Structure 1
């Protein structure tokens, strides 16, 4: 069995912000974010949690579940399947970047 793919600590050099989602809460989070999905080729995401916590999930072969709390971020790699799991009250957004 291979080791989980490491989560990148930062966006790649030269990545440029081009869009952001609205802020979501445990009530307003679209179902598509809690279902497995992926970004388009060349599109990176940055999940930013402002309040509360959620769980960022990358299924096999990575099998990663990461609890993300207020003030923390997660970098979302292009085309890598992922979803979020809600864990109580939360407020977050997603920033989108292109290389």
Structure 2
């Protein structure tokens, strides 16, 4: 049996850039119990480090970062970036996040 999935986040952060990204996100922190996070890159790139495993991922508009509930992680700025974090109470459907990032007709990104 597969886990239920979530299409729409129940909450999203404001859009941050390399200057406004909070220090709290740049050091170890966790998602809450039962909460999945999706780091969406609107432009540029951002490094995601999963502290528990040492895994490093370079995120970009075509490759969002999935955060599991209570997963210890942090991000590092690697250059100009605009990003946002979406929070879900069920496993998110990442294709929804890929689709929203690939819409080149958006003028607000």
TM-score normalised by the shorter chain: which range applies?
0.7 to 0.9
Query: Any stretches of 5+ residues in structure 1 without a counterpart?
Result: 1-11
How many residues align structurally? 87
Partner of 2:95: none
- The 4+ residue runs of structure 1 with deviation greater than 3 A are none
Partner of 2:34: 42
Q: Distance in 2 between matches of 1:17 and 1:59?
A: 24
- Greater shift, 83-92 or 68-77, is seen at 68-77
Q: Distance in 1 between matches of 2:58 and 2:41?
A: 11
Partner of 1:92: 83
**TM-score, length of structure 2 as denominator length:** 0.75
Kindly state the Cα deviation for residue 39 of structure 1 after the two structures are TM-superposed: 0.7
Kindly state the Cα deviation for residue 74 of structure 1 after the two structures are TM-superposed: 1.1
Query: Any stretches of 5+ residues in structure 2 without a counterpart?
Result: 91-109
Q: Distance in 2 between matches of 1:91 and 1:73?
A: 12
SS at 1:66 equivalent: strand
Partner of 1:7: none
Query: Quick check: which one's helix share is greater?
Result: 2
Kindly state the Cα deviation for residue 96 of structure 1 after the two structures are TM-superposed: 0.3
